[in-house]
Structure 1
Amino acid sequence: MTVNPNSALAFAELLIKKAPDFVELICASTDDEFDSAHDAFIGEAVDHLEVNKKNFAALDEVGLSGVFAASLKMPGVTVLQEAHSNGHVDITVYFHHCTPVRKKLFEAKIYDGPSYHISGLEQLLNRYATGREGRGVVLSYVRKSNIAQLVKSVRAKMDEDLPCSQQGHTSDHTIKWSFLSHHAHSSGEELAVAHVSCNLFLEGSDK
């Protein structure tokens, strides 16, 4: 097959114009560049949940994760629910356009206090992660009011207890009501985790 270089260039320019976030993702050469680019897609998935929270009010944790997983799908990416990795991971994402293939693990919880959030972190790091994956994600579906203060309480608890061999204090994340932590893993690697919160509170239903 002969590729017309002019056509290829025109296609590349069109792709950069129409899908800049996708271009940044597939062109990322470092883990930090890749995570930064993928944060844009995570942010869009969070936004989709939040603006449709009335429509999703009857969904449980698995249902919410199904909606979130669907929002992460794109060409060259496989998104699975309940895939097996030393247990059933809520969401697993494979990025086939990368060499080697990159993989992200997501553990999701409906918010029920700092200790419950940390239990999700423990599942992610101590059961599911092998050390080969990129930055993991703990998703928190928050149906209680005052999400900003709830996230601060989780960070305060983690910074006090340093769970899962946490390395230092948590740090800010580019996505609102979210933060980052770093942990020594049994593989000998230091694994980063993004803690991403979705505001699903509905007036008159603080549960």
Structure 2
Amino acid sequence: MTDTENSLFALFLLAKSKAPSYFELLSAKNEIEFDKAFDAILEDAVIKIEQNGKNYANLNENGLTGVLAAALSIPGLTVTQETNSNGHVDLVIEADHCSPKRRKLGEAKIYNGPAYHVSGLDQLLNRYTTGREGRGLVITYVKKKNISVLMDEIRNYMDTNLPCNQKGASTNHTLKWSFLSIHTHSCGEDLQISHIGCNLFFGQDLSSRDGEQ
């Protein structure tokens, strides 16, 4: 290699070491690899929000989702809020330099019981999703204590009622307080959805604000 090539390669390795998730997103060969890389970015974003939960206590769903969108935004990943996709979906996540194009949609809810969570799932699958997108997201901001119990209640409710053409029982997600479900979509294909819990309880019950728009 020439000195210039060596310098460029060294710069590449340095950038890769500083932002491994970006390179994993960029180099993903399939949806499985892309989802694995994205989940790492999502986990970091959720943790940052949880660590600052006290500062976000008075935000409504739109405000919290704005914070999440900002936390998810990294070079190569464009995250927008209230973008049109057969209506104004809470989150649109697009990888800028991937081929084929990779796009995710997400709905977000402040916890207000399993039925309210499912209403977000219904919006995501039956209003906004065309079937061309990758794995979808339903984010639940939990301002009550016992997020583990509450997310299990949502999961059990879904596994009992199988909403939105759910196919069988849900499965574990790599992220804590989260799970995966599969649904038969109107496009004729089975689509996977991540259900992600975000713990925003910090010592007082803010349930009076649950579901606030």
Bigger relative contact order (CA 8 A; separation at least 6): 2
Percent identity at matched positions?
53
Contact residue 145 and residue 206 of structure 1 kept, 8 A: no
Deviation at 1:4, TM superposition (A): 4.1
**2:13 counterpart of 1:10:** no
Letter of the structure 1 residue corresponding to residue 117 of structure 2: H
Map 1:10-159 onto structure 2 (within 5 A): 10-159=10-159
In structure 1, the gaps of 5 or more residues are none
Q: Letter of the 1:182 partner, please give it.
A: I
Secondary structure of 1:188's match? coil
Most deviating of 152-161 and 9-18: 9-18
1:186 maps to 186
Asked if the contact 2:137–2:195 (Cα under 8 Å) also holds between the matched residues in 1, the reply is: yes
Given residue 8 of structure 2, which amino acid in structure 1 is its aligned partner? A
1:119-161 deviation line (CA, Å, top 9, x unaligned): 1000000000000000000000001111101111111111111
Mapped contact 1:50–1:198 kept (Cα < 8 A): yes
Q: TM-score, normalised by structure 2?
A: 0.93
Letter in structure 2 aligned against 1:121: L
Inter-partner Cα distance in structure 2 for 1:5 and 1:44: 33
Question: In the comparison of the two structures, how many residue pairs are matched?
Answer: 205
Instruction: Structure 2: give runs of 5+ residues left out of the alignment.
Output: 208-213
- Whether the 8 Å CA contact 1:106–1:138 is kept in 2: the answer is yes
TM-score (norm 1): 0.95
Q: Identify which range, 7-16 or 80-89, moves more after superposition.
A: 7-16
Once residues 153 and 65 of structure 1 are traced to their aligned partners in structure 2, the CA distance between those partners, rounded to angstroms, is 23
2-structure distance, mates of 1:4, 1:190: 48
Give the deviation of 1:77 after TM superposition: 2.1
